A and B are shown apart, each in its own frame.
Chain A
Amino acid sequence: MLATRRFPSIPLASLGFPNRFQRRNSTAAEPPPAGGHLPSIATSQILRTSRERALRTPGLSWNDDEAASSIVNVGRETRKMNVYQAVRDALSIALMKNDNAVVFGEDIAFGGVFRCTMGLAEEFGRERVFNTPLTEQGIAGFAIGMALMGHTPIAEIQFADYIFPAFDQLVNEAAKIRYRSGGQYNVGGLTIRTPTMSVGHGGLYHSQSPEGFFMGASGLKIVIPRSPIQAKGLLLSAIRDPSKTVKKLKLFVVNQNLDPVIFMEPKILYRSAVEQVPIDDYALPLGRAETLVEGSDLTLLTWGTPIYHCETALHMLADPPPALAPHVPAALRSAKIELIDLRSVLPWDAAAIAESVGRTGRLVIVHEAGMTAGVGAEIAAEVQKRCFLRLAAPVKRITGWDTPVALQYEKFYIPDAVRILDGIVQTLSY
């Protein structure tokens, strides 16, 4: 009570938020001008909002019979979707093409808390799309058992924050089963979907980013998409039954995946990130980072929600709003920043990152989880080893604080555009 009085939330609005619904995650220090020089998720250049751009998504490969013959994307349709619709679309394709695919999780039969499974139960039947009890460890174990039988379980853990009861099953069973059975068994069909990262008001148990806890679990793959196109393609790659892919399309085996995947969907992007998404079955490669903005002076590496904060920070750097202008030296404003989406956190694309940092000499890593032993720590250590003599500045990590994600101050917990801008300026002027 005292705390609220001392730090009332009203002044936030007076700091310059035009509309609290417009950008809950906004990090703008003052309202954008009428024309808007600060992109929000809604106006992000990273999102592919036209059919043409959507079909030119790098790394996209079609998973259908026409794929081999069609070199150009003639006749490919797209539809406007947000992330939850894209996830639903991917699940629908997976269920349609693979009779052994089953979707289950807490409350998913009627659509799930984020609507990712809307209508799937009606479309594919309650035998294949069903609710489970509130039993995360059981869900994970149950799914692993199914996958051992060669099935394709697509389980949902309702929030990534709830994955901890299932941690043992995922780390000790799912990750290790191939190794400890000498290659006899695998749970490659297993996909665990779970909403992750902050939502703006999630607090301690609904806004965590637990990807770092799985970093040591070799055998698992961790994938975090940034947008609807990415979500659909990466999720299909994560789920895809490899034997069928291999048989059907001898030429297109790049996306086969026989490893269990934890697919973490940034929950604030479910509705806010909208793109034209190809309606056909396609895949995007796991384990590959994607360069979103090319540059030569600094590598800015992130994944999930912070990508959009990074984009905002880049615009702020080039054209700082008056309140921030004194803190951004004019000489740095023309710096060319390379923005990379890591996409796969485990295994991560070390070669691509090292290549980029080798060129730029500077690396800033942004993630929502706390700094200590986060994914950024691993990347920083590896990059300093590979690029030691080329580094012009220490690797900078801009992350959540090493505290629980507080409810009242969630906005100050997550690495926002101003903090990212500050990190970029510090690293450029080191």
Chain B
Amino acid sequence: MASLARLRVSRRLPQLIRGIQTSADTTQLHEAPSDLSQPFTVKLHEDSFHSYLCDKPDLDVQVTKDQLLGLYKQMTTMRRMEMAADALYKAKLIRGFCHLAIGQEAVSVGLEAGITPEDRVITSYRCHPFAVLRGGSIKGVIGELLGRQIGMSNGKGGSMHIFTPSFFGGNGIVGAQVPLGAGIAFAQQYMEKDTATFTLYGDGASNQGQVFEAYNMAKLWNLPCIFVCENNKYGMGTSAERSSSNTEYFTRGDKIPGLQVNGMDIIATQQAVKWARKWAVDDKKGPLLLEFVTYRYGGHSMSDPGTTYRTREEVQRMRSTQDPIRGLQRYIEEWGLASEQELKQLDKDAKTEVDAAVEEAKASPEPLLKDLWTDIYFKGTEPPYMRGREREEVHHY
């Protein structure tokens, strides 16, 4: 066993050395913009992307001030929302399961920045930011977590079950959304739509059999399906190294090319998403694996303190050195796009927006009792009756 362990370490070491860059603040300004209303070019760290069977996106990225401030606002608002959910859960107002994406904001916000409203997104249970960004609302998400009528699924779904017309929801079963994404992409291709499906899953789900089934079908039929692995380094309480024989998730599609991306730098993530979209939609090159290397600060779910399988120091180090929001904040300040006060105002606005949404959601009533029996079968095709919670409670349609 000891020798085996040593063998492992020596085999893993080179990987660690040439690992992806996950700093959030390594993007460099080409030259100071003279006019802040005009787009200007920045250069990503040369280790922002690793590729497999394909080229890499350009490291030079054109950005604008408004765009970066918009991303900052979105990421801050998403984090505020997740923190509000955290507080509501701890106040026992949210019950059941709840998975927060604090630390992973650059993935959801970067994804939304790189796609169009007509593209489709489907993800796992860590879904709250995607639901809001894809046309939902904060009060709709919080309301759903609280199980209120205002919730995006009328309070009947809960944390993992939030949908919009272009967002096919969080899914509670690990990896189950991945073949669905392939099917959605097939429908897009069939209808000859110039759109793609972004199918998200985590490093834990990467080892599910059906993920490979979906890879195979997508490549076989050249579907416009971008498989997006959000590698936050832990599948529940097991680190990627302990769960996966190959932790380079972007290489696991066999013949499907892949791109590993610094998932902590919002400029890198949106650049990668745009590149992937072009790959599938404009160039019609079929599926692609996109791996965002990111980190979740909290536990897997609310019942996991997140400190039994990793050290507090590790979490603290990630928070202080690689946080996507603080990284973007540094860019904005260093490049002279906005002052600290202006950013503080954005923070305040985010807090106000979330607080108002929470209050509105809390004020919304719980679903009506009769809704226990709705939306099971299409109206009019239900069985004659359905049983309720106790013997006397039988609903007749």
Interface residues of A (CB under 8 A from B): 100, 102, 127, 132-133, 135, 137-138, 140-151, 153, 168-169, 172-173, 178-186, 188, 218-219, 221, 242, 256-259, 286-287, 347-348, 350-351
B41 interface hit (Cβ, 8 Å):
no
Complexed CA–CA distance, A332 and B374 (Å):
47
Complexed CA–CA distance, A169 and B211 (Å):
13
| 26 cross-chain CB contacts under 8 A | A102-B190, A133-B216, A135-B213, A135-B216, A137-B179, A137-B210, A137-B213, A145-B182, A145-B183, A149-B184, A151-B187, A173-B173, A181-B157, A182-B152, A182-B157, A182-B163, A183-B374, A184-B152, A184-B164, A219-B376, A219-B377, A258-B377, A259-B381, A286-B381, A287-B381, A351-B384
Does the CB pair B183–A172 fall under 8 Å?
Answer: no
B356 interface hit (Cβ, 8 Å):
no
Does the CB pair A143–B210 fall under 8 Å?
Answer: no
B169 interface hit (Cβ, 8 Å):
yes
Does the CB pair B190–A151 fall under 8 Å?
Answer: yes
A-side contacts of B182, CB under 8 Å: 138, 141-142, 145
Known: A144-B183, A347-B382. A168 touches B213 (CB 8 A): no
Does the CB pair B381–A141 fall under 8 Å?
Answer: no
Residue in B190, B216, B378 whose CB lies within 8 Å of A138: B216
Interface residues of B (CB under 8 A from A): 120, 122, 151-157, 160-161, 163-165, 168-169, 171-173, 176-188, 190, 209-210, 213-214, 216-217, 220, 374-378, 380-386
Does the CB pair A142–B183 fall under 8 Å?
Answer: yes
Closest residue of chain B to A143 (Cβ to Cβ) is B183
B-side contacts of A179, CB under 8 Å: 156-157, 375-376
A-side contacts of B185, CB under 8 Å: 145
Complexed CA–CA distance, A145 and B180 (Å):
4
Residue in B178, B213, B374, B383 whose CB lies within 8 Å of A347: B383
B-side contacts of A132, CB under 8 Å: 217
Does the CB pair B214–A138 fall under 8 Å?
Answer: yes
Residue in B153, B161, B187, B380 whose CB lies within 8 Å of A146: B187
Does the CB pair B381–A256 fall under 8 Å?
Answer: yes
Residue in B153, B171, B187, B214 whose CB lies within 8 Å of A149: B187
Residue in A146, A168, A173, A287 whose CB lies within 8 Å of B184: A146
Closest residue of chain B to A141 (Cβ to Cβ) is B179
List the 5 closest A-B pairs by CB distance, nearest first: A145-B183, A141-B179, A138-B213, A347-B383, A258-B378
B-side contacts of A153, CB under 8 Å: 183
B-side contacts of A141, CB under 8 Å: 176-180, 182-183, 210, 213-214
Known: A145-B183, A259-B377. A135 touches B386 (CB 8 A): no
B-side contacts of A186, CB under 8 Å: 378
Does the CB pair A173–B180 fall under 8 Å?
Answer: yes
Known: A146-B183, A151-B187. A182 touches B376 (CB 8 A): no
Does the CB pair B172–A172 fall under 8 Å?
Answer: yes
The smallest beta-carbon distance between B214 and chain A, in angstroms, is: 6
A141-B210, A182-B151 known, 18 other contacts, Cβ within 8 Å: A100-B190, A141-B177, A142-B183, A144-B180, A144-B183, A145-B186, A173-B176, A178-B375, A179-B157, A181-B161, A183-B375, A185-B163, A185-B169, A186-B378, A219-B377, A257-B378, A258-B378, A350-B385
B-side contacts of A102, CB under 8 Å: 190
Closest residue of chain A to B384 (Cβ to Cβ) is A351
B-side contacts of A144, CB under 8 Å: 179-180, 183
B-side contacts of A135, CB under 8 Å: 213, 216-217
Complexed CA–CA distance, A179 and B122 (Å):
17
A-side contacts of B161, CB under 8 Å: 180-181
Does the CB pair B214–A142 fall under 8 Å?
Answer: yes
Complexed CA–CA distance, A168 and B173 (Å):
8
Complexed CA–CA distance, A183 and B157 (Å):
10
Complexed CA–CA distance, A74 and B187 (Å):
40
Complexed CA–CA distance, A239 and B380 (Å):
17
Known: A178-B375, A181-B163. A142 touches B151 (CB 8 A): no
Complexed CA–CA distance, A372 and B78 (Å):
50
The smallest beta-carbon distance between B240 and chain A, in angstroms, is: 23
A-side contacts of B173, CB under 8 Å: 168, 172-173
B-side contacts of A350, CB under 8 Å: 383-385
Does the CB pair B378–A188 fall under 8 Å?
Answer: yes
The smallest beta-carbon distance between B165 and chain A, in angstroms, is: 8
The smallest beta-carbon distance between B220 and chain A, in angstroms, is: 7
The smallest beta-carbon distance between A221 and chain B, in angstroms, is: 8
Residue in B154, B165, B181 whose CB lies within 8 Å of A145: B181
B-side contacts of A149, CB under 8 Å: 120, 183-184, 187-188
A-side contacts of B122, CB under 8 Å: 145
Residue in B151, B209, B220, B374 whose CB lies within 8 Å of A133: B220
Closest residue of chain B to A155 (Cβ to Cβ) is B183
Complexed CA–CA distance, A409 and B381 (Å):
41
Complexed CA–CA distance, A178 and B386 (Å):
16
A-side contacts of B209, CB under 8 Å: 137
Does the CB pair B376–A185 fall under 8 Å?
Answer: no
Does the CB pair A181–B180 fall under 8 Å?
Answer: no
Complexed CA–CA distance, A146 and B181 (Å):
9
The smallest beta-carbon distance between B134 and chain A, in angstroms, is: 12
A-side contacts of B375, CB under 8 Å: 178-179, 182-183
Complexed CA–CA distance, A219 and B156 (Å):
15
B-side contacts of A127, CB under 8 Å: 190
Known: A127-B190, A142-B186, A146-B187. A180 touches B216 (CB 8 A): no
Complexed CA–CA distance, A145 and B179 (Å):
7
Does the CB pair A218–B163 fall under 8 Å?
Answer: no
Complexed CA–CA distance, A328 and B10 (Å):
80
A-side contacts of B165, CB under 8 Å: 184
Complexed CA–CA distance, A287 and B378 (Å):
13
The smallest beta-carbon distance between B127 and chain A, in angstroms, is: 12
Does the CB pair A218–B210 fall under 8 Å?
Answer: no
The smallest beta-carbon distance between B120 and chain A, in angstroms, is: 8
Complexed CA–CA distance, A172 and B171 (Å):
9
The smallest beta-carbon distance between A189 and chain B, in angstroms, is: 10
Closest residue of chain B to A148 (Cβ to Cβ) is B168
Does the CB pair A145–B378 fall under 8 Å?
Answer: no
Does the CB pair A146–B382 fall under 8 Å?
Answer: no
Complexed CA–CA distance, A134 and B380 (Å):
36
Does the CB pair A148–B184 fall under 8 Å?
Answer: yes
Closest residue of chain A to B367 (Cβ to Cβ) is A182
B-side contacts of A173, CB under 8 Å: 171, 173, 176, 180
Does the CB pair B381–A258 fall under 8 Å?
Answer: yes
Known: A143-B183, A219-B377, A347-B383. A182 touches B156 (CB 8 A): yes
Does the CB pair A184–B190 fall under 8 Å?
Answer: no
The smallest beta-carbon distance between B189 and chain A, in angstroms, is: 9
Complexed CA–CA distance, A256 and B185 (Å):
27
Known: A133-B217, A145-B179, A145-B182. A182 touches B187 (CB 8 A): no
The smallest beta-carbon distance between A34 and chain B, in angstroms, is: 48
The smallest beta-carbon distance between B206 and chain A, in angstroms, is: 15
Closest residue of chain A to B165 (Cβ to Cβ) is A184
